[in-house]
Amino acid sequence: MFEQMLSFLGAMGAQTGLAQFWWGNVVMIAIGIGMILLAIIKKYEPLLLVGIGFSCIISNVPGSDLVLPGGLFHYAYEGVQLLILPPLIFFGVGAMTDFGPMIANPKLVILGAAAHLGIFVALIGAKLLGFTIYEAGAIGIIGGADGPMAIFMTMKLAPHLLPQISVAAYSYMALMPLIQPPVMKLLTTKEERMIRMKQMRVVSRVERIAFPIIIGIIVNLLLPPVAPLITMLMLGNLFKEVLVTDRLAKTAANEVMNVVIVVLTIAIGSTMGADKFLTGSTLEIIGLGLVAFMVGTGSGVLGAKLMNLFLTEKINPLLGSAGIASVPIAARVAHMVALEDDRENYLIYHAMGPNLAGVFGTALSGGIMLALLQ
Partner 1 sequence: MFSGIPSGDAPQEVSLEKDTVAFSIMLSVIDFFLSMVMISGIGVVLSLLPYLNRLGKLDEESMRRGH
Footprint of partner 1 (CB under 8 A): 102-103, 106-107, 109-110, 112-114, 116-117, 119-120, 123-124, 126-128, 132-133, 136-137, 204-207, 209-211, 214-215, 218, 222-223, 242-247, 357, 360-361, 364-365, 368-369, 372-373
Q: CB 105 → partner 1: shortest distance, Å?
A: 9
In the complex with partner 1, the residue whose CB is nearer, 13 or 106, is 106
What are the distances in angstroms from CA 136 to CA 113, 148, 150, 168, 358?
Answer: 19, 18, 12, 14, 20
Rounded distance between C-alpha atoms, residue 50 and residue 326, angstroms: 19
Quick check: 172 and 179 in contact, CB under 8 A? yes
CA dihedral 208, 212, 218, 224 (to 10 degrees): 160
Burial (CB < 10 A; 0-12, 13-18, 19+), residue 101, is: buried
Residue 204 or 258 with smaller CB distance to partner 1: 204
State the Cα–Cα distance between residues 105 and 352, nearest whole angstrom: 10
Nearer to partner 1, 136 or 155 (CB): 136
Of 45 and 241, nearer to partner 1 (C-beta) is 241
The Cα–Cα gap between 324 and 15 comes to 49
Minimum distance, C-beta of residue 141 to partner 1, in the bound complex (Å) = 11
CB 268 within 8 A of CB 104: no
CB nearer to partner 1: give 11 or 372.
372
Residue 223, amino acid: L
H or E segment at 72? helix 72-81
Nearer to partner 1 by Cβ, of 30 and 373: the residue is 373
Question: Could you tell me if 35 and 49 are in contact, meaning their C-beta atoms sit under 8 angstroms apart?
Answer: yes
Residues 6+ apart with CB under 8 A from 115: 296, 297, 299, 300, 303, 320, 321, 322, 323, 324, 325, 354, 358, 361
Question: What is the distance between the alpha carbons of residues 232 and 93, in angstroms, rounded to a whole number?
Answer: 9
Name the residue nearer to partner 1 (CB basis): 338 or 357: 357
Give whichever of 222 and 283 is closer to partner 1, judged by the CB atom: 222
Distance of closest approach, residue 133 Cβ to partner 1, in angstroms: 5
